[in-house]
Amino acid sequence: MVQFKLGLTALAITALAVAAGATACSSADTADGSAGEATRTVETVRGSIDVPDNPLRVVTLEPVELDTTVALGIVPVGTAVLSETAGVPAYLGTEAAGIATVGTVAEPTIEDIAAAQPDLILGTETRHAQYYDQLSAIAPTVFIASQSDPWRDSVRFVGRVLGKEAKAEELLTAYDDRCAEIAEKHDTAGKTAQLIRPRSGELTLYGPSSFAGSTLECAGFTTPPRPEWADEISVDLSPELAAQAAADLIVVTADNPSDPAAIPASITANAAALPNPHAVDLSY
């Protein structure tokens, strides 16, 4: 049994978000009305788009864009969030806690985005295509193709859009180095790990191409094989099939990891297949 707690993507956050905590500056603090006039052209899913050379007031609509922007040293003036109740993820630190929310990732609020006076908007084609005309009327708007894109590609893309490609590569290297440290310290080679997100009465398992799954694999674990991983980043199981999620390390996301009821009975009742499950903060 693997005696190792991994806070879902806490490893990635260390390398990609918290690492920039001491140097991140608020884009609102540096805006002076004259900067950002020079532009660069970037290639996007919607073709060539001119973006500010030095964007100062960024709005992000996708979690990976928010995390990466902060990690690259820019605190957005606004962001869409997964939950307006939860707000901006706490793992991004106290400075990011002041970022204005502009609706949810699924339903961003155009009026709030406009009120933030952005000079650059980052979103996702698969989620936000219907808003593109409205968004691009406010500021240059750049979309990644899909929230299911390999997250490393998304980090590099955001780095390119923000003019911080070298910094993005440094962060990815730091992430890989941290993975290697964890793999060696906890002797993860040859051990399996499965991340599970309980929701709507089902158990969502994340595969090796997902952000969470790839983080576990980077740290030396192997995701138990499933035929679905050839085409999907996740798969849903009904509670009675919970034992199919068998692995040496079971990581379960929860709104409140300290709540004894955070781990569903369908998991705790299958201790032989799902040993010693660890609850981790869903916001990671």
pLDDT per position in the chain (284 positions), as tens? 333 434 334 444 444 444 444 345 555 554 444 444 799 999 999 999 999 999 999 999 999 999 999 999 999 999 999 888 888 988 888 889 899 999 999 999 999 999 999 999 999 999 999 999 999 999 999 999 988 788 899 999 999 999 999 999 999 999 999 999 999 999 999 999 999 999 888 999 999 988 889 999 999 999 999 999 998 889 999 999 999 999 999 999 888 888 888 899 999 999 899 988 988 877 65
Q: Which of 162, 60, 158, 151 is nearest to 103 (CA)?
A: 60
Q: How many CB atoms lie within 10 A of CB 62?
A: 25
The confidence score (pLDDT) of residue 35 equals 47
Beta strands in the chain (DSSP E): 25-26, 39-44, 47-52, 58-60, 74-75, 78-81, 100-104, 120-124, 141-144, 193-199, 202-206, 234-237, 249-254, 278-281
Domains within the chain, CATH numbers bracketed: 12-170 (3.40.50.1980), 188-281 (3.40.50.1980)
The confidence score (pLDDT) of residue 137 equals 98
Tokens 């009821």 correspond to 261
The confidence score (pLDDT) of residue 24 equals 53
What is the crossing angle of helices 211-218 and 165-186, to 10°?
A: 60
Q: Which of 164, 205, 184 is nearest to 72 (CA)?
A: 164
- Consecutive H or E run containing 179: helix 165-186
Sign (positive or negative) of CA dihedral 33, 38, 42, 47:
positive
Q: Report how far residue 67's alpha carbon sits from residue 75's, in angstroms, rounded to the nearest whole number.
A: 9
The confidence score (pLDDT) of residue 31 equals 46
Exposure b/e, 94-119, CB count within 10 A at least 16 = b: eebeebebbbebeebbeeebbebebb
Sign (positive or negative) of CA dihedral 55, 171, 206, 254:
negative
Whether 222 contacts 193, CB under 8 Å: yes
